[in-house]
Structure 1
Amino acid sequence: MMDASVQTAQCPGCGLTMPKQQISLTYSYNASEECYEKYSELTAYTLSHTGDDFIYQHVVDAYASQHSGNGMKSITTAFALIGLYYAVEHGFNGKQVQRVHTLLGRLKYPWDTLSLPQRSYSVTVMDVLNKPSGDKRDAMIREWMLDVWGCWSHQYAWVRSVCQGLLG
């Protein structure tokens, strides 16, 4: 429970509430500075992993999808959702998703501005960080991906159509 005298900041993307800090957010995410700091902490953890899984990519896509809106570029949201689609529905590891992003990045395509989910997310970056490092945290990353992807169900048809049209 937080001390009532401590100022808090609520993330507009995922709803995470944390003590307010004096941090400047330099990226265009629909996120509080405090939430973005936790995301940075999680990305540092994932970059320390070795092997082909490259879960870093899954964290990038889950966070970007969850924190879309408020000036974020349409391409960022589209790429993040496409990454989650391939990871969740096709079992792609992070390296494979990264290759999909590379292929898409070579194409000239007018990325749509997608309507945001109307339902709340159940898992935040803090839920992931609260798990111990290793298998439990990595499993929670998977749960986070599933939660975020599920919240975007209203865009499934768009994602599938774009993937089929652009990547065959």
Structure 2
Amino acid sequence: MREVGTDWATCPGCGLQLPSVNWASDGRLQNSPECWQLYTELVGATMSQAGRAAAVQQLSIDAYGAQHAGPGVAPITTVFSLLGLFLAIERGVPGYEVRDAHQRLAALDLRWPELTRPARTGEVTVFDVALADNPDEHVRLAHEWARSVWQDWEYCHPAIVELTERHLPDLARR
């Protein structure tokens, strides 16, 4: 009998190791196809849920975006992800309002700052959230993931706060 081996892939964004798949990566983020596949499955699952788990969908989108930022990622992606984390974590803004804030900012003709990715971008990954057994645990883990990522981008907090205060003053001062 032969042993069957599994090839493993390491995500360049979050460091998550998953079995290799034959799937294309997003290409806009610093991620592996394996991590991207897990993320799209998680987001798809939250879209089909009502209530609290669905309410953290935007939080998960922003946590993933900030965790997988880096060279080659559009500055707007990184800024929007961090701004979404700031609004949700520091100001308690619900996901649908964060999404609306992204749309308001996208309508402006701004030059987005290029932020250098920190050495670490959170200890919690999409994998941890995907392991949730129920909607309440999913919500708890999504918040833990977002806080973990936001914390590791600490050097950017003043720039994100200033940008929010300048362009979204109604949300910045909640």
Measured against the shorter chain, the TM-score band is over 0.9
Give 5+ residue unaligned stretches, structure 2: 170-174
Distance in 1 between residues matched to 2:57 and 2:27, nearest whole Å? 18
Residue 9 of structure 1 aligns to a residue in which SS?
Answer: strand
User: Which runs of structure 2 are paired with 1:1-168 in the superposition (5 Å)?
Assistant: 5-51=5-51, 54-168=55-169
Q: Could you tell me the TM-score, scaled by structure 2's length?
A: 0.89
TM superposition shift of 1:95: 0.7
Distance in 2 between residues matched to 1:54 and 1:12, nearest whole Å? 28
TM superposition shift of 1:51: 4.9
Could you give the per-residue CA deviations for residues 49-81 of structure 1, whole angstroms, max 9, x where no partner exists? 335863211111010000001311100110110
Distance in 2 between residues matched to 1:4 and 1:107, nearest whole Å? 54
Could you give the per-residue CA deviations for residues 77-104 of structure 1, whole angstroms, max 9, x where no partner exists? 1011000000000011111111111111
Following TM superposition, where does structure 1 have runs of at least 4 consecutive aligned residues deviating by more than 4 angstroms?
Answer: none
Distance in 1 between residues matched to 2:157 and 2:4, nearest whole Å? 41
Is 94-103 or 53-62 further displaced after alignment? Answer: 53-62
Q: Could you tell me the TM-score, scaled by structure 1's length?
A: 0.92
TM superposition shift of 1:44: 0.8
Residue 9 of structure 2 aligns to a residue in which SS?
Answer: strand
Aligned alpha-carbon RMSD (Å) = 1.7
Distance in 2 between residues matched to 1:81 and 1:139, nearest whole Å? 19
Distance in 1 between residues matched to 2:17 and 2:116, nearest whole Å? 24
Partner amino acid, structure 2, of 1:46:
T
Task: Specify whether residues 106 and 120 from structure 1 end up closer, same or farther in structure 2 by C-alpha distance, changes over 3 A only.
Answer: closer
TM superposition shift of 1:133: 2.9
Partner amino acid, structure 1, of 2:9:
A
Distance in 2 between residues matched to 1:94 and 1:75, nearest whole Å? 18
Residue 59 of structure 1 aligns to a residue in which SS?
Answer: helix
Distance in 2 between residues matched to 1:12 and 1:138, nearest whole Å? 25
Distance in 2 between residues matched to 1:127 and 1:17, nearest whole Å? 12
TM superposition shift of 1:118: 2.1
TM superposition shift of 1:5: 2.9
State the number of aligned residues.
166
Distance in 2 between residues matched to 1:37 and 1:159, nearest whole Å? 29
Partner amino acid, structure 1, of 2:34:
E
